[in-house]
Amino acid sequence: MKHKVLIIDDEAAIRKTIRLQLEGTIYDVLEAEDGEKGIHVLDNENILEVVVIICDVRMPKLNGIEAVAYFHENYAGIPIIVLTGYPDVQLAVDFMKGGVVDYLVKPVEKDKLVEAVGKAARQHTLFSGSQQPKL
Amino acid sequence: MAALGTLASGIGHEINNPLYAILGAAEAIRDGNDLARGQEHAQDIIGYCKHVAGIIKNLTGYIRPADKHGLEPVYVNTAISDAVLMARLTLLSDAIEIDQRLDAVPAIFAKSEDIQQVFFNVIRNGLQAMGREGTLEIESVREANRVLVRIRDTGSGIAPGDLTRIYDPFFTTKGPDEGEGIGLFVVQQIVNKYDGTIEFESEVGKGTVCAITFPIREPNGEEP
Ligand SMILES: Nc1ncnc2c1ncn2[C@@H]1O[C@H](COP(=O)(O)OP(=O)(O)OP(=O)(O)O)[C@@H](O)[C@H]1O
Ligand SMILES: [Mg+2]
């Protein structure tokens, strides 16, 4: 079974960077440039295979806050990591209360990202013990 | 101007993105052993560094308070014509008409680059909003002790909800290659620096009018 990570960020450079950082891990990367496109990607994937969503906060169209709310509503099992360019304590608290599993501030080092993705993926509610992805 | 939080968070977003990309590319060079790929990553890093430098260059210079030295009489009409010349260079289409109706107005006291920058940024927005077809009208008149410049375009217009955000640093509805969202932030900084005023009126689908005024002052800073 595949382990896919969906990256939603409007900047191509960021999507490329995360793709680079996840290279050589068990994760395959899916990309979307805004929340709306992210939803479209999920609608066309076997969502059992999407183990984590990494979502930027500031994006055109559906922003991070709206996108996270939508994913919770419609894809409740998939853990979400929020990625932001600017630390905002209140926003972080709101996100964590809203069920986001992690809140990372750019720039994020590779080891830290891989660890965060691994940790998040293990919270995927659709995994039973034996299927949990290992790094 | 926008709250400081907005500026800090805008800069944070705008600079942390390329920093992240630089970090990722450097890690890839560190951890990889394919020379050609390493060179590609290095080339990316150079590009991101230039991008950050460009952002900082755009922001500094305008955030500084006005120093009353080094101000010179600036003829608004000359600044407008120069700005139009520069803006024309970016035009892709010749179905765009630029109409200038400039009254003989007195000079204001400022730095000419600043005033030119104001008109250039506003004119460019108008041209970008019109795309391939439309008319840009620029008029200058004296109103009491101020010079008033109106720049009117027949472009896409600004959605009512966006009107309060257009001055926010990094607020843009344009694609990454078309706009950084810095233009009107800079305009507002400069206008404030010279005790000017700026207002926008807009209707979606019809167009936008931007009205800018600057006080007419004597060289010693007194009003005439
Ligand atoms: N004349 C106009 N017509 C329609 N929309 C406008 C106009 N002027 C400004 N706007 C809106 O305001 C936003 C902010 O303008 P601003 O000049 O600050 O940034 P930008 O044009 O997007 O990028 P930059 O000027 O940094 O290249 C624009 O993206 C656009 O949505
Ligand atoms: Mg602009």
**Which pLDDT score, from 0 to 100, does residue A128 have?**
44
- Identify residue A95 by its one-letter amino acid code: F
B99-132 pLDDT, tens digit each: 999 999 999 999 888 898 899 999 999 999 998 8
pLDDT at B49 over 70: yes
Q: Name the burial class of residue B124, with classes exposed (0-12), middle (13-18) and buried (19+) by CB atoms within 10 angstroms of its CB.
A: middle
**Which pLDDT score, from 0 to 100, does residue B89 have?**
73
Confidence at B92, pLDDT banded by 50, 70, 90: low
Whether B15 maps to a domain, the answer reads no
ipTM above 0.90, yes or no: no
**Which pLDDT score, from 0 to 100, does residue B224 have?**
53
Q: Does B151 touch chain A (CB under 8 A)?
A: no
**Which pLDDT score, from 0 to 100, does residue A25 have?**
95
**Which pLDDT score, from 0 to 100, does residue B11 have?**
74
Q: What is the mean pLDDT of chain B?
A: 86
Question: B174: domain CATH number?
Answer: 3.30.565.10
Q: Does B20 touch chain A (CB under 8 A)?
A: yes
Q: How many domains does chain B have?
A: 1
**Which pLDDT score, from 0 to 100, does residue B1 have?**
31
Minimal CA separation from A61 to chain B, in Å: 10
Please tell me which residue, A75 or B179, carries the higher pLDDT value. A75
pLDDT at B203 over 50: yes
CATH label, A3-130, candidates 2.60.40.10, 3.30.70.3000, 3.40.50.1000, 3.40.50.2300: 3.40.50.2300
Q: Does A128 touch chain B (CB under 8 A)?
A: no
Whether B183 maps to a domain, the answer reads yes
Q: Does A11 touch chain B (CB under 8 A)?
A: yes
**For range B25-47, the mean pLDDT:** 95
Nearest to A14 by CA among B176, B21, B12, B16: B21
Please tell me which residue, B184 or B177, carries the higher pLDDT value. B184
B181 lines ligand 1 (CB under 6 A): yes
**Which pLDDT score, from 0 to 100, does residue B9 have?**
67
**Which pLDDT score, from 0 to 100, does residue B165 have?**
92
Return the percentage of chain B with pLDDT > 90, whole number: 60
Inter-chain touch B24–A10, beta carbons under 8 Å: no
Among A53-67, B50-64, B119-133, B208-222, where is mean pLDDT lowest?
Answer: B50-64
How many Å lie between the centroid of ligand 2 and the Cα of residue B115? 15
Whether B60 maps to a domain, the answer reads no
The domain spans of chain A are: 3-130
Minimal CA separation from A17 to chain B, in Å: 5
Minimal CA separation from A13 to chain B, in Å: 6
pLDDT at A99 over 90: no
Whether B23 maps to a domain, the answer reads no
d(CA B12, CA B77): 37
Q: Does A86 touch chain B (CB under 8 A)?
A: yes
Confidence at A129, pLDDT banded by 50, 70, 90: very low
Instruction: Tell me the chain A residues in contact with residue B20 when contact means C-beta distances shorter than 8 Å.
Output: 13-14, 17, 106-108
Whether B75 maps to a domain, the answer reads yes
How many Å lie between the centroid of ligand 1 and the Cα of residue B179? 7
How many Å lie between the centroid of ligand 1 and the Cα of residue B76? 22
B12-31 pLDDT, tens digit each: 778 899 999 999 999 999 99
Whether B168 maps to a domain, the answer reads yes
How many Å lie between the centroid of ligand 2 and the Cα of residue B82? 17
Q: What angle do CA A68, A13, B179 make, to 5 degrees?
A: 85
The side-by-side arrangement of strands in the sheet containing B146-153 is B96-102, B134-143, B146-153, B207-215, B197-203
Confidence at B153, pLDDT banded by 50, 70, 90: very high
How many Å lie between the centroid of ligand 1 and the Cα of residue A108? 31
**Which pLDDT score, from 0 to 100, does residue B175 have?**
77
Q: Does A1 touch chain B (CB under 8 A)?
A: no
Domain extent at residue B95? 68-215
Q: Angle, to 10 degrees, between the axis of helix A12-22 and the axis of helix A110-121?
A: 80
A29-63 pLDDT, tens digit each: 999 999 999 999 999 998 889 999 999 987 777 77
Instruction: Tell me the chain B residues in contact with residue A106 when contact means C-beta distances shorter than 8 Å.
Output: 16-17, 19-20
A30 forms beta bridges with A6
Please tell me which residue, B131 or B38, carries the higher pLDDT value. B38
- Residue B27: which of A10, A85, A110 has the nearest Cβ? A110
A106-121 pLDDT, tens digit each: 999 999 999 999 999 9
Task: Give the β-pairing of B108-110 and B146-153.
Answer: unpaired
- Residue A107: which of B23, B28, B176 has the nearest Cβ? B23
Q: Name the burial class of residue A121, with classes exposed (0-12), middle (13-18) and buried (19+) by CB atoms within 10 angstroms of its CB.
A: buried
Confidence at B63, pLDDT banded by 50, 70, 90: low
pLDDT at A81 over 80: yes
Pocket test for ligand 1, best of B11, B117, B125 (most atoms within 8 A of CB): B125
pLDDT at B51 over 60: yes
Whether B165 maps to a domain, the answer reads yes
> What b/e readout covers B167-178, taking b as 16+ CB neighbours within 10 angstroms?
bbbbbbeeeeee
pLDDT at B38 over 60: yes
pLDDT at A126 over 70: no
